[in-house]
């Protein structure tokens, strides 16, 4: 998988080859990022919105 | 070959383990719910679906979609909806004769204080929905009950219903048991010096023995809410023994796997596939 860019600090982020949309990665800068599929179907990163009110088991 | 769907939003270690086990037994359709369009009544042609969304509304709605496609869905949308509401769960557990902590519902600050007085302090106040001990409060005196319930009224919406429970003097731990298709293959103690023992909140996991009484209780609790794959939270009361707190319909299990060595995702995958073969 190509190296992705951190949307917070702009630095490079290495993601596992088998990364899935919905996976969370912690970047060295401290940001928690979510892998997602952009409009073209490519994997990309966005800041993780955090635990939502309706989240649970 | 059987075709199964995994409906998920956050891909945690639990989901990655499930993906591996499902792929060994079936053709897998991975559905990342937040980036999907799910048409009711018209699906991708799957025989069965495993619901794993951590967002409750994602979970209920996407399970409902899978059911509309005719897929055998585990857990069902209905059981996920029922188990998420602590009052509804209590009702179903009571009807099945399953012991639970004494619980009261109150609809104003004054009646919350009255309920706490009746139960005996300290009491636990919980939101009707929610997990990982989020917003659960232990109130040691009436002033604390008042402060917590006032705050909940201020939050409004579902928080205006006060769910007040006796504080069970559990032995520094509670029990999380897995239930899969009418069996309880593994359980852990969640050990903590804090009253909230959830591992997501720093509790330590240790293997627990599932005796006949615990297994029976766990299996009947899941049956009561219609949950086929569930995580049941149980506390031990020094006098009354096991009391069931609740049933979780999208249970995390990575800590159970880590400390017991039981292949929980393998058993879940096997169960799902076996539902189709029947
Ligand atoms: N009545 C009670 N007496 C003592 N401890 C309690 C009581 N109710 C809950 N707890 C403890 O509080 C924590 C969270 O409880 P509970 O399972 O009811 O809430 P939850 O937010 O739905 O969590 P979960 O994610 O485990 O389902 C657990 O560690 C449990 O042992
Ligand atoms: Zn960064």
> What pLDDT digit, counting tens, does each position of B26-53 carry?
999 999 999 999 999 999 999 999 999 9
The dihedral through the CA atoms of B116, B121, B127, B128 has a sign that is negative
- Mean pLDDT lowest for which of A42-56, B143-157, B205-219, B251-265? A42-56
Q: Mark yes or no for CB contact B252/A56 under 8 Å.
A: no
What pLDDT sits at residue A16? 85
Mean pLDDT check: name the lowest of A12-16, B51-55, B270-274: A12-16
Residue B145 to residue B149: CA distance in whole angstroms: 6
> B130 and A52: CB-CB below 8 Å?
no
Percent of chain B topping pLDDT 90: 96
Pull the structure tokens for residue B62.
């996407």
Q: Give all domains of chain A, ordered by start, each with its CATH number.
A: 3-47 (2.20.28)
Least confident of A50-54, B146-150, B219-223: A50-54
Residues with C-beta less than 6 Å from any ligand 1 atom: A 57; B 101, 124, 126, 130-134, 136, 165-168, 170, 174, 195-198, 233, 235, 245-246, 248
- What is the band of B179 on the pLDDT scale with cuts at 50, 70, 90? very high
Q: Give A40→chain B minimum CA distance, Å.
A: 12
The overall average pLDDT reported for chain B is 97
Q: Can you tell me which residue has the tokens 């409902």?
A: B64
Mean pLDDT of B72-96: 98
The 10s digit of each residue's pLDDT in B228-266 is 999 999 999 999 999 999 999 999 999 999 999 999 999
What pTM was estimated for this model as a whole? 0.95
Helices (H), chain B: 13-23, 56-68, 77-84, 86-95, 109-119, 142-155, 212-225, 254-260, 264-277
Mean pLDDT of B90-104: 98
What is the mean predicted confidence (pLDDT) over B168-186?
98
Q: Are B43 and B66 contacting, i.e. CB atoms less than 8 angstroms apart?
A: yes
A54–B contact, CB cutoff 8 A: yes
User: Which residue, judged by its Cα, is nearest atom 18 of ligand 1?
Assistant: B245
Which listed ligand is nearest to A27 at the C-alpha? 2
Under 8 Å between Cβ of B64 and B49: no
Q: Residue with structure tokens 């079936």?
A: B26
Query: DSSP character for A55?
Result: B
What is the 8-class DSSP label of residue B272? H
**pLDDT confidence bin for A1, thresholds 50/70/90:** low
Q: What is the pLDDT of residue B193?
A: 92
Give the end-to-end CA distance of chain B in Å, rounded to a whole number: 14
Whole-angstrom Cα Rg for chain A? 12
pLDDT of residue B47: 98
- B278 pLDDT above the threshold of 70: no
pLDDT tens digits for range A27-42: 999 999 999 988 888 8
- Percentage of chain B lying above the pLDDT 70 cut: 99
Interchain pair B250, A54: CB under 8 A? no
Whether residue B244 contacts residue B19, with contact meaning beta carbons closer than 8 Å, is answered with: no
- Residues from chain B contacting residue A17 (CB–CB below 8 Å): none
Any CB–CB contact under 8 A between B107 and chain A? no
Count of alpha carbons within 13 angstroms of residue A17, beta-carbon side: 0
Q: How confident is residue A3, by pLDDT bands cut at 50, 70 and 90?
A: confident
**Structural domains present in chain B:** 3-79 (3.40.50.20), 103-166 (3.30.1490.20), 169-248 (3.30.470.20)
Q: Is 80 exceeded by the pLDDT of residue B159?
A: yes
């Amino acid at each position: 998988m190509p190296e992705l860019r951190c949307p917070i600090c702009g630095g490079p982020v290495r993601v596992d080859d088998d990364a899935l949309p919905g996976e969370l990665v912690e970047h060295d800068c401290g940001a928690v990022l979510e892998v997602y599929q952009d409009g073209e179907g490519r994997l990309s990163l966005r800041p993780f919105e955090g635990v939502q009110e309706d989240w649970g088991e | 070959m059987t075709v199964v769907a995994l409906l998920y939003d956050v891909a945690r270690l639990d989901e990655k383990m499930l993906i591996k086990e499902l792929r060994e037994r079936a053709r897998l359709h991975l559905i990342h719910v937040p980036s999907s369009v799910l048409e009711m009544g018209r699906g991708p042609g799957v025989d069965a679906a495993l619901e794993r969304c951590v967002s409750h509304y994602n979970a209920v709605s996407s399970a409902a979609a899978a059911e509309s496609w005719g897929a055998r869905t585990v857990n069902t949308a209905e059981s996920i909806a029922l188990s998420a509401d602590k009052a509804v769960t209590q009702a179903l557990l009571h009807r099945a004769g399953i012991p639970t902590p004494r619980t009261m519902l109150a609809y104003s600050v004054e009646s919350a204080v009255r309920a706490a007085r009746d139960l005996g302090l300290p009491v636990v106040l919980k939101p009707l929905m929610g997990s990982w001990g989020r917003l659960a409060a232990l109130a040691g005196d009436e002033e604390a009950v008042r402060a917590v319930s006032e705050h909940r009224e201020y939050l409004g919406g579902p928080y205006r219903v006060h769910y007040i429970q006796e504080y069970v003097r559990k032995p520094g731990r509670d029990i999380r048991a897995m239930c899969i298709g009418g069996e309880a293959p593994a359980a852990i103690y969640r050990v903590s010096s804090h009253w909230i023992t959830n591992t997501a909140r720093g509790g330590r996991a240790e293997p627990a023995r599932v005796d006949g009484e615990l297994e029976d209780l766990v299996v009947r609790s899941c049956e009561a809410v219609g949950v086929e794959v569930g995580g049941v939270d149980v506390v031990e009361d020094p006098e009354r023994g096991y009391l069931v707190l609740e049933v979780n319909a999208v249970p995390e299990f990575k800590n159970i796997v880590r400390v017991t060595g039981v292949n929980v995702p393998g058993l879940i995958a096997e169960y799902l596939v076996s539902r189709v073969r029947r």
